[in-house]
Chains A and B, each alone.
Chain A
Amino acid sequence: MELVEAIILSVLAASTPLLIAATGELVTERSGVLNLGVEGMMIVGAACGFAGAWLTGSIFIGALFGMVAGTLMSLIFALMALGLAVNQVATGLALTIFGIGLSGLIGAGFVGERITPAAHLAIPGLTEIPLIGRVLFGEDAFVYFSIVLIIGVWWFLYRTRAGLILRACGDNHVSAHALGYPVLRIRTFAVMFGGACAGLAGAYLPLAYTPFFIPGMTAGRGWIALALVVFASWRPGRLVVGAYLFGAVTILQLHAQGWGVGIPSQFMSALPYLATVIVLVLLSRARTGGSTAPAALGTVFVPDR
């Protein structure tokens, strides 16, 4: 019983950064922009988030630092890919390379330091319920926020006029422009939202997941978040399923290593990455009759006047 609870708790913890980062990228991609720099924005968010929390002693301020850092990183992307019409794939890669270096530079002074990780909710009477008590009422604020975030994004995309306009930009920027919508401005906001989410997801790692910063601690989670958006067919509902599924794979391999299954640990560690490849293949294969991706995804748009 306790083991089941422990596994569910650790799956939630491992899934949360994936969910937050993927939610941001989903909005970005729905506006028609492919930002491959998620990994770079996350790792800078992790370094700045830890720096903020360590300097002020506040997890909340740390999280804010992470979000601001992610947003600033995404603004570089917006300037290049939207302002200067540069190839989005190449710009995203540049952002990741730059981010990994920058995070090492920022985080160098904090390696080896520890902070008190984010507090977990405790409601007397509820948190003690066996099995579901800690899962539902004993998480840290990030976990609850990630749920609110994805519901909010679903509501925004499908139940508001602004969401409809954003999706229109992603599906046909020429028409959206012809209707008088400021395509580039809308996309810039979408990219910034994606950056803030990636920064927060990165900050989650040293603020709640492990209470310290190590260079390269995102370990490809940004790339997995990108794959999750594809997995989810750009729909928020499926994104939740995908994120928890991937969290489960991550935890499964950790537990399997702990139980001493006779498989070398490196093979188990490779599982989440292999799973990503397999899922991408199966999913792309299952889709017949056109892609579900936003039609204008990754294409350059320069408004003619």
Chain B
Amino acid sequence: MQLVLEKRTERSNTIALVSPLVAIGLTIVTMTILFAVLGKNPLLALHAYFIAPLTDSYSLQEIAVKATPLVMIAIGLALCYIANAWNIGAEGQFLIGAVAGSWIAVKTQGTDAGVWVLPAMLVLAAAAGALYALIPAICRVRFGASEILTSLMLVYVADLFLDYLVRGPWRDPNGFNFPTTAEFDSVATVPLLIEGGRLHLGSIIALLVVAAAAILLGRTIKGFEIRVVGAAPRAARFGGFNANQLIILTFAVSGALAGLAGIIEVAGPVGHLQPGISPGYGFTAIIVAFLGRLNPLGIFIAGLFLALTFIGGEQAQIAMKIPLDVTKVFQGILLFYVLACDSFILYRFKLVFPNRQVARGTG
């Protein structure tokens, strides 16, 4: 008796709907076991992770703040992945966007520059992120180099470049030698939505991005081209769609969104440029994109959920001394389960009895 995979005659819409929920359920079961292994009370730990952050206004706002970069980056990545272009260097594009936008903030510091500063920062950050993402895209289209490896390598380069700037030319002279720029001026800061709260304008921008992506993918010819190039490259060629052009386009858009997310994070919740501005948003966004099944609305929900795990992870660390790495393990396991459950949209298990089949075949 053997368990084998068999292709379904048509994709199962029921499983497409329930699969993310099953994946989350399985992840929670696995985490319960992991907490028990770590010697923590699983129920208390799960409460700290998933319930506690939902019970006070500060944490709720913090979830929205964390979800903002995740959703923005994941929307861009989803466009790439739908077109079958693998941008996994969003972390680098995020950092380069943060650096480029900070350049204006640093240069105008202490001057009487007006309200144009923040808009200029956002535009420059998006442009820089797009240009940085174009490097792997052009290497792929022009020279056939794997965009997976080149985009990932550029993450390390961006990280080192940021490190150089805040330890060298941009270091705050009054910063006690800490590797950070001076605190940005108020004209270079993303305004808060609620006075004294955490929620900032960036979350509104993220919502607009979600809406724009939903329209692009669902209602425009470009969106249709992106989907066809990814799902049926041969059909796309016959249809006269230029696959290379779409790779360039999706990389540029995702780079721009990652760059924008980068400057919003720096000019918003962080307030200055320093190393470690991202707890791996660029990589977590990959999980968000898949959990949200590459669909803008799905990504919005998935972004909120993964932001919850970040906040929950921090609270669990403070309250129960659970190491922060548990959050990364959690996110990795979640991605495994999401991918595994999604497999059953297209396939199903079948029991086969090899011996009997052979017997029938010969007899």
> Residues on A close to B: CB < 8 A?
36, 76, 80, 83-87, 89-91, 93-95, 97-102, 104-105, 108, 215, 219-220, 223, 226-227, 230, 264, 266-267, 269-270, 273-274, 276-277, 280-285, 287, 291, 302-305
Contact = CB atoms under 8 A, between A and B. Distances in A.
B56 interface: no
Contact of A94 (B4, B163, B335, B357): B335
B329 interface: yes
B347 interface: yes
A93 B286 CA distance: 9
Interface in B162-220: 163-164, 167-168
A29 to B, nearest CB: 12
A274 B153 contact: yes
Contacts of A93: 88, 283, 286, 335
Nearest to A100: B328
B339 A86 contact: yes
B224 interface: no
Given A266-B163, A277-B139, A302 B149 contact: no
A273 B346 CA distance: 38
B32 interface: no
Interface stretch (B61-69, B93-101, B116-124, B140-148): B140-148
A5 B93 CA distance: 40
A161 to B, nearest CB: 24
Contact of A277 (B154, B160, B346, B357): B154
B161 A285 contact: no
B149 A101 contact: no
B27 to A, nearest CB: 11
27 contacts: A84-B340, A85-B5, A89-B86, A91-B339, A93-B286, A98-B331, A100-B328, A100-B332, A101-B329, A104-B323, A104-B325, A105-B323, A219-B156, A220-B152, A227-B146, A227-B153, A266-B161, A266-B163, A269-B160, A273-B156, A274-B153, A276-B153, A280-B150, A281-B139, A284-B144, A285-B143, A305-B4
Given A84-B340, A280-B150, A266 B164 contact: yes
Contacts of A95: 332
Which bracket fits the contact residues of B?
35 or more
Contacts of A273: 153-154, 156-157
Contacts of A287: 144
Contacts of A226: 149
Contacts of B139: 277, 280-281, 284
Nearest to B156: A273
Interface of B: 4-7, 86, 88, 135, 139, 143-146, 148-150, 152-154, 156-157, 160-161, 163-164, 167-168, 283-284, 286-287, 290, 323-333, 335-336, 339-340, 342-343, 346-347, 352, 357
Contacts of A305: 4, 352, 357
A110 to B, nearest CB: 13
B339 A270 contact: no
B342 A108 contact: no
A36 B148 CA distance: 9
B331 A83 contact: no
A266 B160 contact: yes
A18 to B, nearest CB: 14
B161 A85 contact: no
A180 to B, nearest CB: 13
Contact of A99 (B4, B332, B342): B332
B323 A108 contact: yes
Nearest to A94: B335
